[in-house]
Homo-oligomer: A and B are copies of this chain.
Amino acid sequence: MAIRKILLLYILFSSNLVLCQTLENYDLWLGYSKTENPELSREYQELFQFIYIENGNEILATAQKELIAGLEKILGDKPEFTTVQNSKNTVIIAKRENLDRSLAEKLGTDFNALGKDGFILKRTLWDGKQLTILTANEDLGILYGVFRMLHLLQTEQSLSEIHLVDAPKIDLRMLNHWDNLDRTVERGYAGFSLWNWQKLPEYIDPRYIDYARANASIGINAVSLTNVNANALILTPMYLEKVEALANVFRPYGIKVFLTARFSAPMEIGGLETADPLNQEVQNWWNSKAGEIYDRIPDFGGFLVKANSEGQPGPQNYDRTHVDGANMLAKALKPHNGNVIWRAFVYSEHDADDRAKQAYSEFVPYDGTFMENVLVQVKNGPIDFQPREPFHPMFGAMPKTPLMMEFQITQEYLGFSTHLVYLPKLFEEVLDSDTYREGKGSTVAKVIDGSLHQKKLTGMAGVANIGNDLNWTGHPFAQANWYGFGRLAWDPYLSSEDIADEWLRATYSNDPKFVEPVRAMLLMSREAVVNYMNPLGLHHIFDTGHHYGPGPWVSELSRPEWNPTYYHRANDKGIGFDRTPSGSNATAQYAPEVAKIFNNPKAIPEEYLLWFHHLPWDYKLKNGQTLWNGIAVKYQEGVDQVEGMIATWESVKPYISEEQFREVRMLLDIQLKEAKWWRDACLLYFQTFSKKELPDGVEKPTKTLEYFKSLKFPFAPGIRPRWD
């Protein structure tokens, strides 16, 4: 909610103050308010004098509803609508096929770039008069255009010379909810699942609609409702009836529903004795199940599958391959135009090889063997959503297979929902990484948008950070990560800085005195969390299971690759994971140009140093510090950066409401406390190997290593309770 709105509330309608103060984060980046800038206000008033908007189906009806509600707030008055297109109109909103022919002709070439979901927003001369046109090839483009136009008004952009042609660069722009049927959310830190299965299908929580609005406003067009650690019951009629109700809510917002398919479902709910993908009965069961789903949900998206990973059943239980499994499901979905999204997040305790290598080793040989309605979904890095990872080596390495990006929006390894971390910065870093697979400039973004290898099907998924907290995401600033994910899924070449600017203006204020310092704080926040958790390429040194806080000492878990000691390999000599040819040789999975850099500790960007190299404690960093001192200084720098964030936030207090200020301020206190906890616990632990003093400028811990080791958090959020 922009600050103007708070002030207005206070002045115009103080009787509602208490309620809306508590709830002011609820409306996300859609808290439209009256334009304050008098010049722009006049421009908008003139612009929206007589509006024509095409009607005719539920998506267009949604667009119209949003337009009316948004303009009423922005203009401060109900706009006037006309029922036909004529020269009186100041704005015409219609699909190409319903646009006055002479108008459509004026935009001729622009339409070529639109595809299914794009739109044109253009100021043009018609019949001797300036007017604004919003058009598209299909309905959804109109809805997206309406949302974008409202966003431009809300962030005080002039439309007087607008000529915007925009279309998404990625087909499937998708949220993955890891929501369980008991409404717990695996790795969820914003309360519990939005999906109230108990009250569905009859009761449609108004939040479902607000959720759909928010997604549509940033172009998200697909959601997987259920945890990848799946429960087969979701595929039974009792639950499909509920899924159908949600699909009906989401459809007018252009959002398709996917479900996670438990591979053993034919046994668990189908009464079969096997789930072997080459078994005819099993195939029949899935074919018939797909038919049953499509009878209810004609635009059902398909299945998202985690198979043979972390204990989930899969085709390998029957000595079959991932391809066998994925293609069996793909065949079942194909007649209905559905997709299989098959996750590449696999690693085995029976494989002694470096966990970072296993997904590539297992999947790359299958390139070209998946059916064409299969996407393989790959996490951004080769381990697991760490504060920083090098890009996953599979990107660019499977030219014949649609690879879908899996980002994690929820902050499993990033301080849960109490740490302010602006993730588009992380996403941008991954997307901008150069795989060199087709020479220099073969960025991950080009893999994902299909342009590197001319993919027919493209997608980007984000593991949702959304729950039933009043502010949706636990931390008000975590809304920026949902927003930023959506924007990058629309256009992976957007800059994280621009996205921060958009989000801040839409959510809080257009006042540069607020926007500029807070934007800088956002952009810095991701490096801060890397520094105080996992600097210089360290990774996966989180406490066990819940991943809350540091646990670099954990070494006794049954699977070796679940232990932090597996990853940091600290000993008397040094620290780091040797993934060069002298070690696990994971670098060989990258293009030679990349591998050459990664293999050389002097050439590699130091933020990846200990990911690929085991180095002595007195190894000299580029800045001349020893490795030990460099690590310690980075941890301290992270803490200092959080203190800087607090100073920034204190400085912008005048520009936001007391409630907005206080909420983030309290959370920053937690972040600072935990940044210090990370610094002290990790340095005390690594010091037992380095046997060196902390350098000057690094604060001395006030507690002992034994204290940090003794901390237990049996009820940390985000872990699935066991129900059976």
A interface residues (Cβ-Cβ under 8 A, vs B) = 5, 8-9, 12-23, 26-27, 31-34, 69, 72-73, 76, 181-184, 189, 191-192, 197-199, 202-204, 206-207, 210, 233, 416-418, 468-470, 659, 663, 666-667, 669-670, 673, 714-717, 721-724
Contacts and interface: CB of A to CB of B under 8 A. Distances in A.
State the main secondary structure of chain A at its contact with B: loop
Contact of A26 (B23, B202, B418, B667): B23
Given A15-B33, A197-B715, 6 more contacts: A18-B69, A184-B184, A191-B191, A191-B468, A199-B667, A714-B724
B14 A716 contact: no
| 5 closest A-B pairs by CB | A721-B721, A15-B73, A13-B13, A181-B715, A22-B206
A22 B722 contact: no
Contacts of A469: 468
A313 B192 CA distance: 31
A15 B23 contact: no
B15 A26 contact: no
A672 to B, nearest CB: 10
Nearest to A75: B15
12 contacts: A5-B15, A8-B15, A12-B12, A14-B72, A16-B20, A18-B69, A22-B206, A182-B717, A184-B721, A192-B468, A199-B418, A722-B722
A179 B576 CA distance: 44
Q: Identify the interface centre among A32, A181, A470, A722: most chain B CB within 10 Å of its CB.
A: A470
A189 B76 CA distance: 40
A666 B15 contact: no
B15 A233 contact: no
A23 B12 contact: no
Given A715-B197, A723-B721, A76 B15 contact: yes
B192 A73 contact: no
A653 B197 CA distance: 27
A207 B34 CA distance: 28
Contact of A722 (B9, B20, B198, B721): B721
A716 B723 CA distance: 12
Contact of A27 (B18, B199, B667): B18
Contacts of A18: 27, 69
Contacts of A192: 183, 191-192, 468
Given A12-B12, A468-B191, A723-B721, A19 B17 contact: no
Nearest to A21: B206
Contacts of A210: 22
Contacts of A717: 182-183, 198
A469 B467 CA distance: 11
A19 B32 CA distance: 11
Contacts of A26: 19, 22-23
A371 to B, nearest CB: 33
Contact of A659 (B27, B206, B233, B722): B206
Contacts of A715: 181-183, 197-198, 233, 723
A670 B196 CA distance: 14
Contact of A23 (B9, B23, B69, B184): B23
A189 B721 CA distance: 18
Residue of A8, A198, A666 contacting most chain B CB atoms (<10 Å): A198
Given A26-B23, A206-B22, A717-B183, A670 B723 contact: no
A666 B206 contact: no
A400 to B, nearest CB: 41
Contacts of A22: 26, 206-207, 210
A714 B198 CA distance: 11
A206 B716 contact: no
A469 B468 CA distance: 7
Nearest to A673: B202
Contacts of A76: 15
A25 to B, nearest CB: 10
A210 to B, nearest CB: 6
B73 A203 contact: no
Given A192-B183, A670-B202, A670-B203, A15 B34 contact: yes
Nearest to A724: B714
Given A13-B13, A73-B14, A203 B19 contact: no
Please indicate which of the listed interface residues A22, A418, A669 has the most CB atoms of chain B within 10 Å of its own CB: A22
B23 A19 contact: yes
Contact of A721 (B182, B191, B198, B667): B182
Given A183-B717, A206-B22, A717-B183, A13 B14 contact: no
Contact of A666 (B72, B197, B202, B714): B202
B9 A670 contact: no
Nearest to A191: B468
A133 B191 CA distance: 45
Nearest to A548: B198
Nearest to A77: B14
Contacts of A181: 714-715
Contacts of A183: 191-192, 715, 717
A13 B204 CA distance: 26
Contact of A468 (B33, B468, B659): B468
